Amino acid sequence: EIVLTQSPGTLSLSPGERATLSCRASQSVSSSYLAWYQQKPGQAPRLLIYGASSRATGIPDRFSGSGSGTDFTLTISRLEPEDFAVYYCQQYGSSPRLTFGGGTKVEIK
């Protein structure tokens, strides 16, 4: 099973700042089958990025994904108030064994 480790656990930033979230896999993720989700309190997760760098439908272009192999990054170029949330990465390259990372909380500084 591929284990995903997200860092940092919590990121304290101010609106307008840049956020960089990391997701590291215990082994190479096939064909960059890596997705990112956003979850706000009391809500279901929302798909942001798939295929490591493709934005899902309706996702603003301030969200971008990059990386390959074992190291992946989600970048939020300028934080908006609605971006403060928990972010999860997920690998689906070893499908059907799908795994999530432990999450990174982006909080207001």
CB of 70 to another protein, least distance (A): 18
Residue whose token pair is 């300028």: 78
User: Could you say whether residue 97 binds another protein (CB under 8 A)?
Assistant: yes
Bridging pattern class, strands 54-55 and 63-68: unpaired
User: Could you say whether residue 72 binds another protein (CB under 8 A)?
Assistant: no
Residue whose token pair is 């990372």: 101
CA distance 29 to 43: 28
Site size with another protein, rule: CB under 8 A: 25
Q: Which of 50, 63 has the CB closer to another protein? A: 50
User: Could you say whether residue 87 binds another protein (CB under 8 A)?
Assistant: no
